[in-house]
Amino acid sequence: MINVVSQAEDKVLLQRALISTADKTGLDLLIEGLLAVNPDIVMYSTGGTFSRIAEIIGSGYEGSLKQVSDYTGHPEMQGGLVKTLDHKIYLGLLAESFNQAHARDLSTTGAERLDLVVVNLYPFEKTVAAADITTEHARGQIDIGGPCMLRAAAKNYLRVAALCEPADYQGFLAVLREGHGTTSLQDRFMLARKVFSHTAAYDAAIASYLAKQSPGDIARTYQLSNPEEQ
């Protein structure tokens, strides 16, 4: 059954953010700006993004910055996989403000409502534009968790803001300052429109690249084995 929402918050105070960026451009501007607007903000992050944010904040960051794996209770899979594909993450992104069943789910699991997602995706188009790129290298640059987080946040523009490009950081911070630490429904809707356009273009680039590869070339990329040989 699809929820049909009739009541939504206009102004949402930014208290918790999920940040995972392949491109660290402008991250210092964003983090410093978020802390200036709300010194009590809690940021959840992973891997290299976590390390970069810790550098930006400096000593004593523990209250502001948390590892996603500590929050979810699950380590990432080898190769940096399955870092954010977790039930608690998506409860926090998709929970609707005035839905009592969602509130109970949050309470039962210990999940927190997330108010902001900042994600930019693995550079697939840049990777496949390089000379002598293999299909296996291209496959490794297909982002899974990033588009999922962006789409979940954008779907719930009723409450969650989503940023998908560093070029949007400065404008978003201006919105927060003007709103005294809040985003409006219209702000979040505009960001959601961009997210769905962005992820659609990303998927189109992947589909276009794969369409140009022959099945025979793919088979020659790997050492193939069969069940009877294992």
pLDDT in tens, 187-211: 999 999 999 999 999 999 999 999 9
Residue-range domains of the chain with CATH: 12-229 (3.40.50.1380)
Residue 140: other Cβ atoms inside 10 A: 13
Give the E-state strand segments of 22-115 in sequence order: 42-45, 65-67
pLDDT in tens, 12-22: 999 999 999 99
Higher pLDDT, residue 229 or 203: 203
State the Cα–Cα distance between residues 183 and 28, nearest whole angstrom: 21
pLDDT of 98 above 80 = no
CB-based contact 157:129 (threshold 8 Å): no
State the Cα–Cα distance between residues 165 and 195, nearest whole angstrom: 9
- Cα distances (Å, whole numbers) of residue 15 to 25, 117, 159, 166, 173: 23, 12, 12, 20, 14
Band of residue 105 on the pLDDT scale cut at 50, 70, 90: confident
* pLDDT attached to residue 4: 82
Q: How much is the pTM?
A: 0.90
